[in-house]
Amino acid sequence: IGLVVAVFLFVVVVKFSEKPCFQLLTLLGQGISGWWSFSQQPHEAFQAGHPGYVSVPKQEPLKLQCDVCSVVSSSGQILGREAAPEIDHASCVWRMNNAPIRGFERDVGSRTDLRVVSHTSVPLLVQKPQHFFGRRGNETAYVVWGPLRNMRGDGKGVVYNMLRQAAENYPHARIYITTEERMNYCDTMFKKETGKDRIQSGSYLSTGWFTLILAMDVCKEIRVYGMINNTYCRSEGYRKVPYHYYEAGSRDECAEYLLHESAPYGGHRFITEKAVFAKWAKTHLIKFFYPEWQLS
């Protein structure tokens, strides 16, 4: 029996050793429970839920299962692409922060199954609570990430208090927060992939970072729309677009990316993150469209 168990564990290690999620589980203190949720069959993992994300205020794990996920970037790159049929054809459609649908349906699609939201964008959602949380038949799940100081549930977390109030006003709303352990996991992945400590390097992770990490846990195939790669902004004749597709005339996307990449403190390392995404796409079923990425 001992020999059989040893061989089984060896096979599992070999099979998953190339996957970033597996490499880091033991570093994050998730132990056997974290490995078990990762290695289960999709149906079993769905039943167990994803322990890194808990509901407000009940603290129940997120349960979400998707075959093909359309992850829609908020970038102006999606404008004029008329990608709605491709996006909506997926089993799950994911969006970020408060990116709207109305008025952009032809390019970004017409439904939302999940929104990954930064703690800094929560005030924008609670300004329109009926639109985001209160519409009849709304099945959208909201996953909110943020530091413990804002997300703590002891009454001192400003963002958590906003979300708890929204959950009380709209009891059918599906609102989840990223646990402290999961936040640490995402920081550790950044250091693992870039060699830089996020805090010491003055970096802020983007909502795209948290979205791709969650998608690799949930989705069998990930199709990302409207996201540029890490070399795009330094290529000749690149397409100049607004930073957000719903902010016409706003700052140029590449100008924003380059500014953040070189900021000594408090910058989103968008370009660095895109290089990591390209690496992940070699070991996960991740594809990028509009523009399409050429992965070596």
The pLDDT value given to residue 2: 73
* Number of structural domains the chain divides into: 2
The stretches in the chain having pLDDT less than 50 are 13-43
218 and 75 both lie in a single domain = yes
- Residue 19: the pLDDT is 40
Q: Tell me, what CATH number does 69's domain have?
A: 3.90.1480.20
Do residues 179 and 240 both lie within one domain?
Answer: yes
Is the domain of 120 the same as that of 250? yes
| Residue 44 counted as domain residue | no
Residue 8 pLDDT = 66
The domain in which residue 283 lies consists of 53-289
Whether residue 73 is found in the same domain as residue 196 = yes
Is 107 within the bounds of a domain?
Answer: yes
Residues 31 and 151 in one domain: no
DSSP the chain: -HHHHHHHHHHHHHHHTTSHHHHHTGGGT-HHHHHHHHHS-HHHHHHH-EEEEEETTT-PEE---EEEEEEE--SGGGTT---HHHHHHSSEEEEETT---TT-HHHH-S--SEEEEETTTHHHHHTSHIIIIISTT---EEEEE--HHHH-TTTT-HHHHHHHHHHHHSTT-EEEEE-HHHHHHHHHHHHHHHSS-TTTTTEE--HHHHHHHHHHHHEEEEEEES---TTGGGSTTPPP-BSSTTSTT--BHHHHHHHHHH-SSSEE-HHHHHHHHHHHTTTS-EEEETTTP---
Mark whether 101 and 231 lie in a shared domain: yes
pLDDT in tens, 113-166: 999 999 999 999 999 999 999 876 678 999 999 999 999 999 999 999 999 999
Give pLDDT, residue 139. 86
58 shares a domain with 21: no
Q: How far apart are CA 37 and CA 27, in angstroms?
A: 16
